[in-house]
Amino acid sequence: MKDKHWGLARSLLLYRGVPFRAARLRRFYAEFVPPRSLCFDVGAHVGSRLRAWRKLGARVVAVEPQVDFVHVLERLYGDDPGVTILHAALGASEGEATLMVSERTPTVTTLSRDWIDEVRKDPSFRGVTWRSGAAVRVTTLQALIEAHGVPTFVKLDVEGYEANVLRGLDTPLPCLSFEYLPAARHVALECVDRLTEFGDYRYNWSRGESHRLERAEWCDARAIRGVLEGLSSRAGSGDIYARLRRSA
């Protein structure tokens, strides 16, 4: 219980207690989130992105599998008609799955045991432990679209389960982000491959929590694959951003 409370407090401090972070997030996401748009925050955690998107005037569907963080979101946004909070995980199909919970570092709670085995090799995960947690309802990205509409932007931060989430999608997304980690880079590469099935996407990336795109010009799938394949094992995590290129 002590680890659980510490993990919750740590997340609130990191993602909601850092001065100027909220303003930096708003500036960064203004490129992707216009007023009155719809966004899906998949892996919403304590709602740092949700908060930024609401300030930008977007409606948000927040998906979070950890019940303690659902309670946080409900306390912060339960009365906000522009926010829908779902206690669920996303995957390739509807069903139920068991969370692998890291109580001291809940940001790395995951549905993927394979991902845990891979990231244990990363020095930044030294000392991180997981245990089997509660069963959680699993729905799909396509089901969210059918219930709420096609989102302008989707953030996927589900600790190694991003490619599985995209397998539960039938509709091309205009714009999205998904996490990368050198120790499990194949997950991000699988996401790129999956998006290629939907159309011609252009890519950029942001390192860590910098909230700054690395390239002035967006690149194609081949180029972003080269970036991912060339990452040093010490490069740290970040996010890939993908935009569907519109036909002329």
* C-alpha to C-alpha distance for 127 and 239, rounded to whole angstroms: 24
pTM greater than the 0.85 cutoff: yes
> How many domains are contained in the chain?
1
* The pLDDT value given to residue 8: 56
Q: Which pLDDT band, with edges at 50, 70 and 90, does 238 fall under?
A: very high
Q: pLDDT tens, 133-175?
A: 989 999 999 999 999 999 999 999 999 999 999 999 999 999 9
* C-alpha to C-alpha distance for 105 and 128, rounded to whole angstroms: 7
Contact of 32 with 58, CB cutoff 8 Å: no
Q: Of 4-13, 60-69, 234-243, where does mean pLDDT reach its minimum? A: 4-13
* CATH code (residue 180): 3.40.50.150
Contact of 138 with 90, CB cutoff 8 Å: yes
Tell me whether residue 248 is exposed, middle or buried, using C-beta atoms within 10 angstroms of its C-beta: 0 to 12, 13 to 18, 19 or more.
Answer: exposed
* The pLDDT value given to residue 246: 74
- What is the extent of the structural domain holding 50? 2-244
First-residue to last-residue Cα distance in the chain: 56
Average pLDDT of the chain, as a whole number: 92
Q: pLDDT tens, 27-67?
A: 999 999 999 999 999 999 999 999 999 999 999 999 999 99
Q: pLDDT tens, 67-104?
A: 999 999 999 999 999 999 999 999 999 999 999 999 88
* The pLDDT value given to residue 47: 94
Does the pLDDT of residue 20 top 90, yes or no? no
Cα-trace Rg, the chain: 17
Measured N-to-C along each axis, helices 67-77 and 48-55 cross at an angle, to the nearest 10 degrees, of 20
